[in-house]
Structure 1
């Protein structure tokens, strides 16, 4: 007699052509926390040569995995700047300051997974609206707990980005 395990959510298949694209910030939204019963959140990011990605921040409740699909990323981890290239994997534990940008001489593309999941797709939509000028500059500051994305100052990141 076979039994079917109790699954917290059905298998999730996101077709490439159906994923929401936020071209202004180079993100493709794949599976938010609500699609995976909180197991993970996943998106893909593609940045032009030397382009900024995420500003320094931390997540208090989730680890964040970066798998580099193509090119090279400069990544802040704590106070260190590392360059990760195609095929490299970085896992940032909860509480660790981090940021990312395309390396100065490269485009960059990565799959990013947060686990456990954070319902974050609305965060990325806020970022787009902010960059378009349709949202107030400080709005995201008031939403840091909701999205478990807490902004930080990082002199090491500022020096590295200025040098690039």
Structure 2
């Protein structure tokens, strides 16, 4: 990671080999690109690869941040306020604060997407925890007390699970 003084007026350059990789089962994973502390709080960014049909995030909303998703490859099912919408390569989704959403690789497809949260929140530890949970080395319940810290407010997953089962 290259930056001059770390202010919002200085560039941040993250080369591929510098981005921390948090592996997920079956070949997926997070590439941690920029945390809020590296961008003066303006944004946080990560790249997420998902194996065929894998969930990316269970239903949640962000109280203070908007989230931008850019689908690099594959097809992603976005569950936006109760509606399931598939988005393919080159598609962009912007989720405003407060909007319930979830996402995952569509059935029969893998997915590769860029996610940007603005304003930024330091969430690298959140993604590391998700990696441990996905590998059975932690419990999702451990994230519940951290919802304010990460601006990720979890919602009932039953409608998402039902939509994905169709």
Could you say whether these structures have the same fold, taking a TM-score greater than 0.5 normalized by the shorter chain as the test?
yes
**SS where residue 64 of structure 1 aligns?**
strand
| Superposed displacement of residue 8, structure 1 | 2.8
Q: Write the distance in 2 (CA, Å) between the matches of 1:20 and 1:9.
A: 24
Match of 2:82 in 1: 79
Q: 1:49-96 deviations in whole A, cap 9, x for unaligned?
A: 111111000000000000010110001111111000000100000000
Q: Write the distance in 2 (CA, Å) between the matches of 1:92 and 1:115.
A: 11
**SS where residue 149 of structure 2 aligns?**
helix
Stretch moving more, 76-85 or 149-158: 149-158
**Tell me, which stretches of 5 or more residues in structure 2 are unaligned?**
1-6
CA separation of 1:86 and 1:129: change in aligned 2, threshold 3 A: same
What TM-score, normalized to structure 1?
A: 0.91
Please list, as runs of the form range in 1=range in 2, the aligned pairs for 1:1-164 lying within 5 A after superposition: 8-24=8-24, 26-163=29-166
What TM-score, normalized to structure 2?
A: 0.89
The answer on whether the counterparts of 2:74 and 2:88 sit within 8 Å (CA) in structure 1 is yes
| Superposed displacement of residue 129, structure 1 | 2.0
Stretch moving more, 10-19 or 149-158: 149-158
| Superposed displacement of residue 9, structure 1 | 4.2
Aligned alpha-carbon RMSD (Å): 1.3
Question: If you compute each CA radius of gyration, which structure gives the higher value, 1 or 2?
Answer: 1
